[in-house]
Amino acid sequence: MNMHLFQKELGRRIAGQRKLKGLTQADLATRMKLSRSSLAQMELGNRNLDAIELQQLAIILGFSLDEFMSEDFKIFEKKDLQVQPNMETADERVSKPHFQPNKMKNVLLYMLEKCAGKPNVGETVLNKLLYFADFNYYELYEEHLTGAVYRKLPYGPVPQNLDVIINQMIADKQLQRLKTEYFGLQQTRYLPLVKANLSQLKASEKEVIDRVLDQMSDWSATALSAYSHKDMPWLASKEGDEISYELAFYREAPYSVRNYDEELEEQ
């Protein structure tokens, strides 16, 4: 068995043993003094384990290391073996987003200050930039940036209530809406009329937004929509349903923004 497959198998075994013990990811992560996102990546086989962590797992989950590392190790409740991102139990989804309209307004203004002049940045691109900023921030810090609720719609993840926010901002003369044409297609664009209140944004929030803009703000709406459709939170959600922020912890390259190997080295 090659190392990659063996790492995946270890993750599968850890998830199975955890469920046999009746522990949530949050329970086990707390006992191991890890972030829950790190444990999720461990169970997916995307994060290396060291000898100390294996010993911790053996004590907490009650297994023999020799047996656990053997090729013929078996978990008896086979129904619990697979780690399915969209089948996590409700008590593992611990952080319900709380929408912050003022934060959303300032994130919008900050983004538009930096990229509204780009001809590709219409409504579709803006929706995707907001999505990646929100979900990247949650993956990194396990906190919500705007707390917006996103749903899986045919053209990609869209934040709820964005139309209401934008209409308020237009009425308050914070934004201007323009109807233009881009490569022969109708395009809705927004121009900022005021500057973002940067006191409403933490340095870590601005850093995540800047990274998203640096990476994606030059992409076409088609390219960015296609990219968002391969992101795990989108893939693991049902059409029309709310996209759980918790699914960001199941991302793999190139979508994951958290370096789990570096996190391991620092411990």
- Within a domain: 264: no
Q: How confident is the model at residue 267 (pLDDT cuts 50, 70, 90)?
A: very low
Say if 153 falls within a structural domain.
Answer: yes
With respect to residue 265, please indicate whether it lies within any of the assigned structural domains.
no
- Same domain? For 17 and 130 the reply is no
User: Which pLDDT does position 47 carry in this prediction?
Assistant: 83
Q: What is the 3-state secondary structure (H, E, C) of 234-246?
A: HHCCCCCCECCHH
In this prediction, residue 1 carries a pLDDT of 46
Q: Give first-to-last CA distance, the chain, whole Å.
A: 28
Based on the fold, state whether residues 213 and 105 are members of the same structural domain.
yes
Which residue would you say has higher pLDDT here, 249 or 201? 201
DSSP character string of 68-128: HTSTT---S-GGG-S--GGG--GGG--------HHHHHHHHHHHHHHHTTSTT-SHHHHHH
Residue 14 domain-assigned (yes or no): yes
Nearest-5° angle of CA 114, CA 120, CA 122?
80
Residue 57 and residue 32 in contact, taking contact as beta carbons nearer than 8 Å? yes
- Residue range 32-58, pLDDT digits in tens: 988 888 888 888 888 888 888 888 998
- Whether residues 80 and 147 fall in one domain: no
**252 and 133 belong to one structural domain:** yes
* Domain that includes residue 209, residue range: 101-258
Please give the residue that has the higher pLDDT: either 48 or 109: 109
Q: Are residues 174 and 232 both part of a single domain?
A: yes
- With 90 as the cut, is the pLDDT of residue 12 above it? no
How many domains, in total, are found in the chain?
Answer: 2
User: pTM for this one?
Assistant: 0.74
DSSP 148: -
Residues 205-230 pLDDT 10s = 999 999 999 999 999 999 999 999 99
Using pLDDT thresholds of 50, 70 and 90, give the confidence band for residue 75: low
- Looking up tokens 């994060």 gives 47
267 assigned to some structural domain: no
Locate 208 and state its tokens. 């995540």
